[in-house]
Amino acid sequence: MKLQSWTYLGLAGVVGAATLLPLTAANSAPTAPAATATAKYCPKAVAHRGGEGDVTNANENSMGAFNRAANIGVDVMETDVWFTKDKVPVIMHDATLDRTTDAKGNVSDYTWAQLKHGVRLNNGERIPSLHEALAYFAFRDVPSFIEYKDADDPQLYRIYLRTMKDYGVDAWAAGFSADMLEWMHAHDKNRDLMWFGLRSGSIPIPTTPADVPSGAQPGLINVLLSKETVASFTDAGYKMNVWYNTNTKGDNPTGTPGVPGDKGWATMTQAGVHWMSTDYPDHYKEWTIKTGLCQERPAKQSIQDCLTLPHKMKRGTTYTILPQGCMTSAEKKISVKVSANKSTAVMKRQQGATLLKVKNAGGKVTLRYQAPHRIWTTGNGNSWESYTSYRKSRTYHVKGSGGTHGKG
């Protein structure tokens, strides 16, 4: 008997289009890692404040910046949290709104409703809540360092932790406060913690492995790190996260000449850091492909959580085989191809979903799902695969009212 095949695409719409930046598809093949690279992987790319860098319309700590960083294929998202007057955790680096929004005053002077409906970031987007940011990180399957910036207050700690728990253990509690991190470790020993070191006032100061709070990993500013310093933490069982800011400079391959103590990506890579927190994740990823100091990490695996395939199929039953809006973590539409004898099953669309009605026993049904990979292309034309393609298949043998389990 001749088999019939149908193919349907899932529909977009998982993330509000108004918050996303367009990505131009690249036709060129991904650039391969340098032939001289060692077997050691380059430090993981962390998008500091979402990795705004030199892209003016990807305002720091905005959904646009997070989307851009996820498209690039960063390994970790870093962002910051303050609380509103009604104790809602929101994404903001500064205690005040003055620098990055069209409003003035402290974050804590406003309710969440006031921020949501009356304040806009400099790129026109509204301020994200921590819930919204974490939901998007979970959808894109990107771990995150969530820097707690507010007061040492157990009531706020509880809200912060409860929000992160809603999205699993891939959300790290992070910050300078040892008190907050020790509280976190006592209340959730499975929670990963990132500590940003000792400070004198607002100035980071030298830190030793003995200073690291229980359960935390260290994250120190570049000017405090050397090969010997990193080795002392590594020997103590820690993995080092280096971070940069606009005052200390050096957020580039070679550092900034003439800045005392400046440490660029090459120096930090050779020192053996595990994470590279950068405002320029696109430039950093491009550098890791070209450098001979280390090997670029493989593309992130494209996954999905919108498909629930039936364990078995039986005649007379209709199954939803592709829900409306089903996409991969690379924000690529999933398509399904069904192969079946005409007398066995019929596929149809209903309210955006793809359904399959199994008519008779004695036949075979095969479902094949796929979605394309994502290519990121820089302004100068260099490109790499930031997410792999997605493929999944399952075959069912329909044998009557009981059905049989699918394979694949």
Catalytic annotation, pick one of 93, 131, 185, 397? 93
What is the DSSP code string of 245-263? -TTT---SSS--TT-TT--
From 248, 268, 249, select the one nearest 45 (Cα to Cα): 268
283 included as an active-site residue = no
Helix-then-strand count for the chain, H and E: 8, 22
User: Do residues 224 and 207 make contact, with C-beta atoms less than 8 angstroms apart?
Assistant: yes
Pick from 376, 312, 402: nearest CA to 74: 376
Secondary structure of residue 155 in the 3-state scheme: helix
Between CA 164 and CA 172 the distance in angstroms is: 8
The DSSP 8-state label assigned to residue 273 in this structure reads -
- The verdict on whether 311 is a catalytic residue reads no
| Selection from 374, 350, 360, 275 nearest residue 316 by Cα | 360
Which is it for the CA torsion 122, 124, 126, 130, positive or negative?
negative
Supply the residues annotated as catalytic.
Answer: 48, 93
